[in-house]
Amino acid sequence: MLYLWQHIKAVTGTYSGSVPLTHFLRDYCRRHPVLGSRDRKVLAAVVYSWYRCSRGLVSTSLPAEDSNLFFANQIRACLSLCNADNPYLPQLFTGVDTADSKFAFDSDLLFPADVAMSEGIGDSEWRSSMLVQPQLFIRVRKHHSKIVALLAGHNIPFVQVTSTCLSLPNGAAIDKVLPADWYVVQDASSQHTGSFFRPVAGAQWYDCCAGAGGKSLLLLDSGVPVRLTASDRRASILANLKDRFRLYGHNIPACFIADVAVSQQLATVAPDAVFDNIICDAPCSGSGTWARTPEQMYFFDKAVLQSYSQLQQTIAINVSQRLAPGGRLFYITCSVFRCENEDVVAAVCAATGLSVEHMELINGIGIKADSMFIAILK
């Protein structure tokens, strides 16, 4: 497998983080058809381990004079730290003497230490979690017993997290086993946000940054009949939302295209609309999900956090003007950073007069899930 080293070096040397790593690897392998299925899996395991922890490596011995040998030592250290278990990985080092250089690991080097974390998650805990690939989670919509039987019949291991949430190995081929409308692929922490909604029949709900509709589907799958409106600034993503609603047998909600960070757009497309509840799943750094996409941490520029924070404040303040008296705003991010969470909530409350009914960092690290933040403002 010595020929794989040239591809490992090519990927780590040319990938810039401008597209998701999974897309980059897919396109790279398409351009190099000599890489078979086994090769692609080994390449992915190595590259993901590299972006998870290579920045935290500290050499504890003299670097090998041969740069290729030093790089091989770094890769071996990364794979060991991440407990990579692909059965073909040991063969990657056949004929490669990696005994020269040794490394210690310092998680403080993975990300700037001066970015404050939200209450409920430790800085070292979060950094260490970057070494672990999260699990795959599904939300069971119906036929729970049949889903369990099908998974067991196909030898796909799972853990029951809640009555409707199952944890499975990442990459489990459930799409080949389970009917598509029986379940939703959704992280456990994301699923947990729905437990705060507590819908009332007939209430008006607005999902202002709806994306593909994950939170809206959580709401409707509760079985409580509500009147739902959804918006996003991207027409293509709203089309995806509608496709998902059709798949899961829900009526298509009222939808409109708007960038809710621009108050005039909201005023133009929905001039008189008011809502009892608004879901504001705001754009964010995604730091609570970086264990799934370690390249985002590797290439992240903390200077953009201020722009995220300002955008989040603007969106939340704009949409809060559409709350009916006594209404609630559900401010949600998949960030673990205080500047995107508690600090934004404080700024929004100061600007609008809303008060905090509940605020929580949903720490998913213990079950190998993402981490999310939710604040209910009333």
Q: What integer best gives the mean pLDDT of the chain?
A: 93
Average pLDDT of the segment spanning 109-122? 92
pLDDT tens per residue across span 290-341: 999 999 999 999 899 999 999 999 999 999 999 999 999 999 999 999 999 9
pLDDT band at residue 345 using 50, 70 and 90 as cut-offs: very high
* Residue ranges of the chain that CATH labels 3.40.50.150: 189-377
Q: Give the integer Cα–Cα distance in Å for 327 and 348.
A: 15
Compute CA distances 220 → 11, 201, 227, whole Å.
43, 11, 10
At residue 254, φ and ψ (nearest 5 deg) are -65, 130
Q: Amino acid identity of 8?
A: I
Contacts for 148 with CB less than 8 Å, ≥ 6 apart: 158
With 0.85 as the threshold, say if the pTM is over it: yes
Q: Which two tokens stand for residue 25?
A: 């690897």
Compute CA distances 330 → 193, 205, 217, 378, whole Å.
9, 11, 15, 9
SS3 5: helix
Q: What's the pLDDT at 134?
A: 96
pLDDT tens per residue across span 192-201: 999 999 999 9
SS3 255: strand
Beta-bridge partners for 58:
104
14-43: b (≥16 Cβ within 10 Å) or e: ebeeeeebeebbeebbeeeeebeeebbbbb
Average pLDDT of the segment spanning 253-272? 89
According to DSSP, residue 334 is labeled S
Q: Which two tokens stand for residue 334?
A: 């998949």
Q: Give the integer Cα–Cα distance in Å for 282 and 228.
A: 18
Q: What's the pLDDT at 39?
A: 92
pLDDT tens per residue across span 51-110: 999 999 998 876 556 677 788 889 989 998 998 777 778 778 776 665 666 888 998 899
Q: Angle at which helices 305-320 and 342-352 pack, to 10 degrees? A: 40
Q: Amino acid identity of 184?
A: V
Contacts for 170 with CB less than 8 Å, ≥ 6 apart: 133, 134, 135, 136
Can you spell out the DSSP letters for 16-49? -SSS-HHHHHHHHHHH-TT--HHHHHHHHHHHHH
Write out the CATH class of domain 189-377.
alpha beta
